[in-house]
């Protein structure tokens, strides 16, 4: 499974691609941070983010896009920019039929470090360790994007197996109900 993790932001938007799966440790494919100048209006900054996300989708061809779920912060202006950047990334993926999943910051931190309250340094250190890197990706937005991708590789694989099992059980139950209905109909 190849996952593009996006740590959305209007000034800095982290992008990280990780590949991994069942019985395979995650490996780094690419990581970067898109920066947009604060002197540009918001619409032009979002166009720059969209262009970068489109380029990454074309270049790295992810199976899934994992985006940090935006939550309310005290600074409304910051949360708006973050939500807008997330929306642009989600739209770009949806246009291509690429599934989009959202993970909360605490969910990602718990998956990567074991604690939903881990700090940025702890996340960076664990991303470095998990991906066997020489040093933590900088800035922290890059490490956060990789953490999102790793989280989804780990949790997504399990979720896919659970969903597959639930679908198989539902199909089996449907077949049993149909067989029972056919038996009842024959007896009439």
Q: Is 135 helix (H, G, I), strand (E, B) or coil?
A: coil
In the chain, what are the domain boundaries? 2-187
Q: What is the structure's pLDDT at 174? A: 79
Choosing from 54, 134, 141, 144, the catalytic residue is: 141
Centre a 10 Å sphere on the Cβ of residue 2 and count the other Cβ atoms it contains. Answer: 17
Tokens 């059980």 correspond to what residue? 169
pLDDT tens for 29-78 read 999 999 999 999 999 999 999 999 999 999 999 999 999 998 766 677 77
Q: CA-to-CA distance for 95 and 37, rounded, in angstroms?
A: 26
Q: Is 50 annotated as a binding residue?
A: no
Q: What is the structure's pLDDT at 186? A: 85
Q: Is 63 annotated as a binding residue?
A: no
The residues that bridge with 65 in the sheet, in sequence order, are: 4, 100
> What superfamily in CATH does domain 2-187 come from?
Ribonuclease H-like superfamily/Ribonuclease H (3.30.420.10)
**Per-residue pLDDT for 177 more than 90?**
no
Q: CA-to-CA distance for 166 and 162, rounded, in angstroms?
A: 6
pLDDT tens for 5-33 read 999 999 999 999 999 988 889 999 999 99
pLDDT tens for 115-153 read 999 999 999 999 999 999 999 999 999 999 999 999 999
Q: CA-to-CA distance for 86 and 83, rounded, in angstroms?
A: 5
Q: What is the dihedral of CA 128, 132, 135, 138, to 10 degrees?
A: -50
pLDDT band at residue 166 under the 50/70/90 scheme: low
Q: Is 55 annotated as a binding residue?
A: no
Give, in order, the Cα–Cα distances in Å from 65 to each of 81, 112, 125.
19, 18, 23
**Per-residue pLDDT for 105 more than 80?**
yes
Residue 68 designated active-site: yes
Residue 14 near residue 145, CB atoms below 8 Å? yes
Q: What is the structure's pLDDT at 77? A: 76
Q: Is the peptide bond before 44 cis (omega within 30 degrees of 0)?
A: no
Q: What is the structure's pLDDT at 167? A: 61
Per-residue b or e along 158-180, where b marks 16 or more CB atoms closer than 10 Å to that residue's CB: eeeeeeeeeeeeeeeeeeeeeee
Give me 169's structure tokens. Answer: 């059980």
Q: What is the structure's pLDDT at 75? A: 72
Q: CA-to-CA distance for 50 and 60, rounded, in angstroms?
A: 15
Choosing from 19, 32, 55, 68, the catalytic residue is: 68
Residue 7 designated active-site: yes
Q: CA-to-CA distance for 108 and 149, rounded, in angstroms?
A: 9
pLDDT band at residue 1 under the 50/70/90 scheme: very high
């Amino acid at each position: 499974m190849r996952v593009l993790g996006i740590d959305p932001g209007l000034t800095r938007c982290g992008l990280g691609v990780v590949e991994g799966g069942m019985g395979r440790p995650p490996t780094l494919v690419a990581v970067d941070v898109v920066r947009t100048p604060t002197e540009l209006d918001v619409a032009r900054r979002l166009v720059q983010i969209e262009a970068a996300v489109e380029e990454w989708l074309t270049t790295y061809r992810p199976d899934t896009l994992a985006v940090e779920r935006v939550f309310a912060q005290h600074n409304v202006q910051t949360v708006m920019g973050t939500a807008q950047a997330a929306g642009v990334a989600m739209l770009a993926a949806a246009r291509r039929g690429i599934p989009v999943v959202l993970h909360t910051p605490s969910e990602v931190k718990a998956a990567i470090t074991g604690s939903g309250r881990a700090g940025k340094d702890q996340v960076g250190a664990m991303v470095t360790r998990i991906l066997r890197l020489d040093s933590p990706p900088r800035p922290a937005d890059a490490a956060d994007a990789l953490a999102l991708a790793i989280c989804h590789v780990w949790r997504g694989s399990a979720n896919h197996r659970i969903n597959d099992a639930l679908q198989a059980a539902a199909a089996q139950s449907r077949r049993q109900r149909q067989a029972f209905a056919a038996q009842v109909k024959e007896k009439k």
